[in-house]
Chain A
Amino acid sequence: MLMTGDQYIESLRKLKTRVYMFGEKVDNWVDHPIIRPSINSVKMTYDLAHDPEYADLMTAKSNLTGEVINRFCHLHQSTDDLRKKVKMQRLLGQKTGSCFQRCVGMDAFNALYSTTYEIDEKYGTEYHKRFVEYLKYVQENDLTVDGAMTDPKGDRSKSPSQQEDPDLYVHVVEKRDDGIVVRGAKAHQTGSINSHEHLIMPTISLPEADKAYAVSFAVPSDVEGLFMIYGRQSCDTRKLEEGADVDLGNKEFGGQEALVVFDDVFVPWERVFMCEEWDFAGMLVERFAGYHRQSYGGCKVGVGDVLIGAAALAADYNGVSKTSHVKDKLIEMTHLNETLYCCGIACSSEGYPTKAGNYEIDMLLANVCKQNVTRFPYEIVRLAEDIAGGLMVTMPSEKDFKSDLKVGKKGETIGELCNKFFKGASGVPTEHRMRILRFIENMALGTAAVGYRTESMHGAGSPQAQRIMIARQGNIEAKKELAKVLAGIK
C-alpha cells in the first residue's frame, strides 16, 4: 500500500513518540512550528509517489512481494535501480530545498539485507529471514524508518568497552529467552521523530572484546524506553515568531536531527538482526556508509539546484544578471553541482550484485562522491553569498517591511522606507528581492544550512572516513606497476 502524504501525517499522530525540546516535553510534535517543516519534507516522499510525473523514480516493484512500493522501501535490484535512487534524491532535494530524511532507512535496508545474509551463511543464524519479514512489513505499510548508526562515541581514542561510561555506544545489557534489552543512544539522528520505526546498527568495526556492541535491531519509534531530544538549528526560533513567512526563507520545508535515547529498551528476537557477531559489524557499517555516500550525490545536488536558481534570481533582482563574473560564478556553481551528480551516477552505474542478490554501489566511487560533497556545497554556497550580496544578512525584518509606524519627516513609514531603500532592479517588487535573499540566508547559515553544509561535511561519515576508504580501494600497487612498465623499471 502506498500511503498518501496526508495519510503519513495521520499515521504519525497515532504514535506516542516521546519528544523533548528546550527542556520540555512536546506533546503535539506533529504540529509544532519548529518540527513541522521537517515532517513536510518527508510528506513529499509520499505525495510524489502518487504523481505520474514522478512515479517512475518514486516507486519500484518489490522483489519480496511483487507489489509497487515506495522506492525508499526498496532493495536495489540492478544498476538502473541504483541510478534511479540517486535521481529520486535529486528530485526531492529540488522539491524541498532540504534534507527529506527518508534515505537513511533505505540505505539501512540494503546494507542489512546483504549483511544478514552473509552472517547467516557463516553462523547458521536466521537474521536474514527475520529481516526479510521485517522489510515486508515496512514495504506493505509504506513506513518511514530511521536507519540509525552514529553513537555518541565519547573518547574517540577508546573502543566502546574502554569508555568510562559504557552507554556511549548502544549495547546489549541483557539477553533473555524472548529477546534482548539494549541501552545507549544514537546521536544526530536525521528524521528520527518523523519515523515510524528505528532500525539500529553499530557505528564502527568492532573487536571481539566489544561484541556486546555488535547489535542491530528494529523497534517502533514509540517503544517503551525510547525517547528523543530535539537538536536545535541556527535561527530555529524564527519559526516561533508570529506571522513569520519571508524571514524564514523556506517556510514549508526543513530537516531534523535528534538524540535518540535507549533507556533499557526490550527488543523481541524476531526484530534482532545482529547480536554479538562482532566480525560483521565492519561489513554492515561499510555497506551502509557506502550507500549513504552515494545518496549525497543525489540529495545535495537537488538542494544545490535550488540554491543555484536562487543565486540566479538574486542576480536578476540585483540587476547584475548580465555581468560577466556573475554569469561565470553561476557556471562554476553548476559545474560543481553536476560533478557531484556525476559521482552519484558513476558509483551507481558501476554497482554489482551482493551474495544476497540486491545491488551494492562501487565503494571507491561512492567515497569519492562523498569526499567531494564535503567540499563543493561550501564553495557553491560561498558563490551564492557572493552573488547575493551582504544584504542577505543585514536586511531588516519582515515586520519592518510591513510596519506602518511613521518615522520620516514627511510621514514615511518604516515599511515605506525599507521598500524604498531596498528596491533592486526595476520592475521587481522589493518583497521578491527580500524573499530570495532570505532563502539564500536560510541555506547558507539558517536552519537549512544544517542539511546543506554541516551534514555535507559530517553526514555519512566525516571526510577522513572517506579518505581511509579511498586509500583502501585506491589500488596504488597496480598504479605503481603501470608506472614501472612505462618507465622501463624491471
Chain B
Amino acid sequence: MLFCGVKFCGGCNPRFERRKVLEQLKEHFEGRIEFAYAQEGIVYDILLIIGGCTNCCASFSQYTTKRGNIKLWDVSHVERVIEELEGQLSLADDAK
C-alpha cells in the first residue's frame, strides 16, 4: 500500500471544499493508498498538497517523501491527481 501524506493550505478563502476532495480520493483509492495528515519526521511515499486557490500556499518543505509531491488547487485537478497516484501505484507494483 502506498503511504500518502496530506497537507492542506490554511483555508483563508478556499474556492472548493478541500476536505470533500480528500474524501473523494480516499474513497477512490480505498485499500490501495493510505492517506494521513502529514507530520514532520515521518517518511511518506508521496505528499499530496491540497490548496484552496491558485496560490496553493501550504508550506511543505518540512516533510519527507520518497517520490516528491502532488499539488491540487482546484476540483478540476482531481482527475489528474487520480492519474498521477495510479501511476505511482503502478511504479510501486513494478518495483516489486
Contact = CB atoms under 8 A, between A and B. Distances in A.
B26 to A, nearest CB: 14
A57 B10 contact: yes
26 contacts: A52-B6, A52-B8, A53-B11, A53-B19, A54-B10, A54-B11, A56-B7, A56-B8, A56-B10, A56-B57, A56-B58, A56-B59, A57-B11, A57-B12, A80-B57, A83-B57, A87-B10, A87-B57, A88-B10, A90-B12, A90-B13, A91-B12, A94-B12, A94-B13, A302-B12, A305-B13
Contact of B10 (A58, A61, A305): A58
Contacts of B8: 52-56
B59 A53 contact: no
A217 to B, nearest CB: 33
B25 interface: no
Contacts of A87: 10, 12-13, 57
Nearest to B52: A53
Interface in B5-42: 6-13, 18-19, 37
Interface of A: 52-58, 61, 80, 83-84, 87-88, 90-91, 94, 302, 305
Interface centre among A55, A56, A80, A84 (most CB of B within 10 A): A56
A259 B11 CA distance: 35
A368 to B, nearest CB: 21
Contacts of B6: 52
Interface of B: 6-13, 18-19, 37, 57-59, 62
B41 to A, nearest CB: 12
A343 B58 CA distance: 21
A41 to B, nearest CB: 17
Q: Is the interface of A mostly helix, strand, loop or mixed?
A: helix
Contacts of B12: 57, 87-88, 90-91, 94, 302
Contacts of B9: 56-57
B17 to A, nearest CB: 10
Kindly list the 8 A-B residue pairs having the minimum CB-CB distance in the complex, ordered from nearest.
A57-B10, A87-B12, A56-B10, A52-B37, A90-B12, A91-B12, A56-B58, A53-B8
A54 B9 CA distance: 7
Contacts of B19: 53
Contacts of B62: 61
A84 B55 CA distance: 12
Contacts of B7: 56
A164 to B, nearest CB: 48
Given A52-B6, A53-B19, A91 B37 contact: no
A132 to B, nearest CB: 24
B35 to A, nearest CB: 11
B11 A91 contact: yes
A84 B58 CA distance: 10
A90 B11 CA distance: 9
Contacts of A90: 12-13
Given A84-B57, A87-B57, A55 B13 contact: no
B63 to A, nearest CB: 12
A91 B19 CA distance: 16
B30 to A, nearest CB: 20
Contacts of A305: 13
A372 B18 CA distance: 32
A482 to B, nearest CB: 33
A91 B10 CA distance: 8
B32 to A, nearest CB: 22
Nearest to B17: A53
A52 B63 CA distance: 15
A92 to B, nearest CB: 9
Q: Which of B6, B7, B57 has the most CB of A within 10 A?
A: B57
A438 to B, nearest CB: 25
Contacts of A53: 8, 11, 18-19
Nearest to B12: A87
A302 B11 CA distance: 12
Given A88-B12, A90-B13, A305-B13, 11 more contacts: A52-B37, A53-B18, A54-B11, A56-B7, A56-B9, A58-B10, A80-B59, A84-B10, A90-B12, A91-B11, A94-B13
